[in-house]
Amino acid sequence: MDLNSTLETLRRALVQTPNNGFLWLQVAELLAQLGRGSEAEEAAREALVHLDEEDARNRARALIAPKDEAPQNVLRLVRGEKKDDSGDAPDAPTRESVRFGDVGGLDEIKEEIRMKIIVPFQRPDLFRKYGKRVGGGVLMYGPPGCGKTLLARATAGECDAFFFNVTIDSILDMYYGESERKLAGIFESARAKVPAILFFDEVEAIGGSRQQMRHSPGKSLVNQLLAEMDGMASNNANVLVIAATNAPWSVDSALRRPGRFDRVLFVPPPDETARFEILRLHLRERPVAKDVDVGELAKKTADFSGADLFDLVERAAEKPLVEAMRGGEPRELRRSDFLDALKKTKPSTKEWFATAKNYATFANTGGLYDDLLDYLKK
Ligand SMILES: Nc1ncnc2c1ncn2[C@@H]1O[C@H](COP(=O)(O)OP(=O)(O)OP(=O)(O)O)[C@@H](O)[C@H]1O
Ligand SMILES: [Mg+2]
């Protein structure tokens, strides 16, 4: 194997174990052999962060030339070649066609989003006039499958804003410092395409608690996000940041300070009325027989999330679909299809509440979980 392919192999291994100091050291030494001095030095610095063993530390130190200037902010590490900037551009924003009407139930939350997000977003002048602060982000939390992502999209649809869906996969990069650069790039593109909504899905993966990751790259990613959020307050009222998580307890508390994700919304599972609406939404484009009583189904689906309800409908549609594919006469979905499907679908929200209850009871700092506690009392 030549040096370059060895380097490639090591790089791939680093993606799996970015905290492995010995791997970083090997990469550094290889780079030095290849005559790529400054990259070797950066890899060596990273190795020193993770290495405890003195011999290895000395080997790493040997690759670092004494320098007076401060370490570079953005480390472009172990790069095979200079990256083409267009290659890692953030995902293109979308214009959402989803509206609040496509989200079943959640009336209170929609109203809250309307008053606290959409109106200030569209009429910042009005808010300034009365001395109310505009900006800052919104954090939505709740059990999986209950409409957080859908609501974020619908909010963008209602505001007629560009929607940037930021997932951890779209910014995580093994190159030290690259993830931060991508994150900054996403904010920059959003500012260039206003009005824009930046949506951080599963934000705990990006803005996870910094105490839990002392040395890992995630730590500086949180810092980058904090810096961007702070910059936004002065920078642009036309960019709105929404984040969603199933694990608010894993989100770095610094992200919830004023001006950052300081408005927190609990997105509960649908109650019976909401389940009725959600079922109706998912049935609107399917042929349904007269004997199907949506009210009955809504009653029988306590603890189901919106995603579970969608699942139920999909399952109910399977049998008639298969029959039709086998050459049978296409028929409508019947009550019995739903009852069969019900036997196979389990509600998924209960488990989440078991965990959430503990945090809400024992770690309700700053009233973070007040809404959740109110919900649990009901
Ligand atoms: N209130 C709702 N109205 C209509 N459909 C819903 C609703 N909630 C959930 N769904 C259905 O469930 C799917 C999953 O919902 P969504 O992705 O918004 O959940 P989530 O809260 O973001 O879940 P996760 O925490 O797993 O990301 C949606 O695409 C939609 O089909
Ligand atoms: Mg989601």
| CATH number of the CATH domain containing 243 | 3.40.50.300
Place of tokens 């019995």: 336
Range picked from 11-15, 63-67, 72-76 for highest mean pLDDT: 11-15
Neighbouring CB atoms inside 10 A of 370's CB total 13
Shared domain check, 281 and 255: no
Pocket of ligand 1 (CB under 6 A): 103-106, 144-150, 244, 246, 270, 278, 281, 306-307, 310
Range picked from 72-86, 140-154, 312-326 for highest mean pLDDT: 140-154
Atom of ligand 1 nearest to the CA of 151: 18
Q: What's the structural domain count of the chain?
A: 3
Atom of ligand 1 nearest to the CA of 201: 27
Q: What pLDDT score does 293 carry? A: 96
Residue 35 banded pLDDT, cuts 50, 70, 90: confident
Residue of minimum CA distance from atom 23 in ligand 1: 145
Q: Domain for residue 89, yes or no?
A: no
**Domain extent at residue 234:** 94-266
Checking if the pLDDT of 82 tops 70, the result is: no
Residue 70 banded pLDDT, cuts 50, 70, 90: very low
Q: What pLDDT score does 80 carry? A: 29
Shared domain check, 120 and 43: no
Average pLDDT (102-109) is 94
Residue of minimum CA distance from atom 13 in ligand 1: 307
Q: Domain for residue 152, yes or no?
A: yes
Tokens coding 205: 């993966």
Shared domain check, 245 and 118: yes
Average pLDDT (64-74) is 45
Q: What pLDDT score does 66 carry? A: 63
- Residue 49 contacts residue 26 (beta carbons within 8 Å): no
Task: Tell me, in angstroms, the distance from the centre of ligand 2 to residue 288's CA.
Answer: 29
Helix (H) or strand (E) holding 38: helix 37-50
Average pLDDT, the chain: 83
Q: Among 150, 159, 161, which Cα is nearest to 114's?
A: 159
Shared domain check, 306 and 215: no
Task: Tell me, in angstroms, the distance from the centre of ligand 1 to residue 190's CA.
Answer: 25
Average pLDDT (170-183) is 77
Shared domain check, 115 and 158: yes
Which amino acid is residue 113, in one-letter code?
I
Task: Tell me, in angstroms, the distance from the centre of ligand 2 to residue 298's CA.
Answer: 23
The 3-state DSSP class for residue 196 equals strand
CA distances from 76 to 51, 59, 176, 177, 181 (A): 20, 21, 6, 7, 10
Average pLDDT (32-59) is 86
Q: Which residues pair with 95 in a beta bridge?
A: 162
Q: What are phi and psi of 160, to 5 degrees?
A: 55, 45
Checking if the pLDDT of 216 tops 50, the result is: yes
The whole-angstrom separation of Cα 221 and Cα 212 is 13
Buried b (16+ CB within 10 A) or exposed e, 293-311: ebeebbeebebbbbbbbbb
The sign of the torsion formed by the CA atoms of 52, 58, 59, 60 equals: positive
- Residue 183 contacts residue 221 (beta carbons within 8 Å): yes
- Which ligand ends up closest to the CA of 146? 1
Residue 33 banded pLDDT, cuts 50, 70, 90: confident
Residue of minimum CA distance from atom 26 in ligand 1: 144
Residue of minimum CA distance from atom 12 in ligand 1: 307
- Which ligand ends up closest to the CA of 275? 1
13-17, 27-31, 253-257: least confidently modelled range = 13-17
Q: What pLDDT score does 111 carry? A: 93
Name which residue leads in pLDDT, 215 or 200.
Answer: 200
Q: What pLDDT score does 254 carry? A: 84
Task: Tell me, in angstroms, the distance from the centre of ligand 1 to residue 358's CA.
Answer: 24
Name which residue leads in pLDDT, 13 or 232.
Answer: 13
Q: Domain for residue 76, yes or no?
A: no
The 3-state DSSP class for residue 303 equals coil
Sheet holding 94-95, edge to edge: 94-95, 162-166, 196-200, 239-245, 137-141, 263-266
Checking if the pLDDT of 81 tops 80, the result is: no
Residue of minimum CA distance from atom 30 in ligand 1: 307
Residue of minimum CA distance from atom 16 in ligand 1: 147
